[in-house]
Amino acid sequence: MKNIVVLTGAGMSAESGIATFRDANGLWEGHDVMEVASPKGFYNNPELVLDFYNQRRAQLKSVSPNKGHFNLQKLEEYFNMTIITQNVDDLHERAGSSSVLHLHGELRKVRSTKNEILVYNWEEDLVLGDLCEENAQLRPHIVWFGEEVPMIDKAISLVEKADVLVVIGTSMQVYPAAGLVNYIKPKTPIYVIDPNPMVGETDFDNLTIFKTGAGEGTEKLLDCFL
Ligand code: OAD
């Protein structure tokens, strides 16, 4: 069975109603990204940051996977599929995808500020005073700017084994995620689905671009593969 690796970004969830990052001039739901997605931002104003992620976590209850998420799930019947997502939502899982690696963390988890291996499932609001079992404050289980990306080595080894790479809805601006595409085997076919793609047909050998949204683009992908 062929290995398909799919790298997804914020555009994957746009049709579910979750705002992308760079389409809004670097603002994330009205906030400077560094204010809400960096250790310094958390240090300066922990309540603002916790509240920001509380709103994002609560938003998950009112959104649903879109056609793009479901189309990717359909491919699982025919291929050995892995999704590497930069998204912190759980929409791939809710569409039924069974192998999802979250590079930038997950909204529905929190972790200790003292011991990063203490990670907990978390459905409700997280506030100052919510502590881990070692009595340290809990924080969102999100990889903020300036922090290590613990899953990157696993992601690299998956991309190295890909027979096909599909890239959906990412501006390829944030490293190390954006560098993953450089780990493909020579001549591996790459499919990019994005209404405003950051790459051109000549940037890689064997590149196909569907200049469209995730729902329509994944329909085309199914037409190509099934
Ligand atoms: P961006 O907001 O940078 O890029 C979103 C991409 O989605 C753009 O290329 C858009 O053209 C595309 N897009 C918009 N609507 C789409 C649709 N309906 N279907 C498909 N694509 C669409 O988001 P990311 O590249 O994911 O990190 O951003 C990477 C990281 O930067 C995020 O994971 C986040 C952010 O800061 C953290 O939170 C740690």
Structure tokens at 89: 């939502």
Band the pLDDT of 205: cuts 50, 70, 90.
confident
DSSP symbols for 93-138: HHTT-S-EEETTEEEEEEEESS-TT-EEE--S---TT-B-TTS-BE
pTM: 0.96
Contact 127, 91 (CB under 8 A): no
Q: Is 168 helix (H, G, I), strand (E, B) or coil?
A: strand
Q: 136-180 pLDDT, tens per residue?
A: 999 999 999 999 999 999 999 999 999 999 999 999 988 999 999
Q: For CATH 3.30.1600.10, list the domain ranges present in the chain.
A: 20-62+114-142
Q: What is the pLDDT of residues 37-50, one digit of tens each?
A: 999 999 999 999 99
Which pLDDT score, from 0 to 100, does residue 27 have?
67
- Average pLDDT, whole number, for the chain? 95
By the 8 A CB rule, do 45 and 139 touch?
A: no
- For the chain, residues classed under CATH 3.40.50.1220 are 1-18+65-104+147-226
Q: Can you tell me the distance from the alpha carbon of 169 to that of 20, in angstroms, rounded to the nearest whole number? A: 9
CA 87 to centroid of ligand 1, rounded, Å: 8
pLDDT attached to residue 203: 84
The dihedral built from the CA positions of residue 169, 88, 49 and 177, taken in this order, carries a sign that is negative
Closest CA to 104 of 66, 58, 63, 150: 150
Ligand 1 center from residue 2 Cα (angstroms): 27
Angle between helices 67-75 and 214-225 in degrees, nearest 10: 20
Test site for ligand 1: of 8, 170, 181, most ligand atoms within 8 A of the Cβ: 170
Ligand 1 mean position, distance from CA 86 (Å): 8
Q: Average of pLDDT values for 204-220?
A: 96
Give the model's confidence band at 25: pLDDT under 50 very low, under 70 low, under 90 confident, else very high: low
Indicate if ligand 1 lies below 6 Å from the C-beta of 213. yes
Predicted pLDDT at 202:
82
Q: b/e map of 47-74 (b: 16 or more CB within 10 Å)?
A: eebbebbbebbebbeeeebbbbbbbbbb
Q: Assign a CATH topology to domain 1-18+65-104+147-226.
A: Rossmann fold (3.40.50)
Indicate the CATH number for domain 20-62+114-142: 3.30.1600.10
Mean pLDDT value across residues 192-200: 94
Is the predicted pLDDT of residue 79 greater than 80, yes or no? yes
Residue 220, classified by CB atoms within 10 Å of its CB into exposed (0-12), middle (13-18) or buried (19+), is middle
> Which ranges of the chain would DSSP assign to H, the alpha helix?
11-14, 33-36, 39-44, 46-59, 67-75, 91-94, 152-160, 214-225
Report the pLDDT value the prediction gives residue 26, as an integer from 0 to 100: 61
Q: Is the pLDDT assigned to residue 192 strictly greater than 90?
A: yes
Angle at 117 between CA 18 and CA 5, to 5 degrees: 50
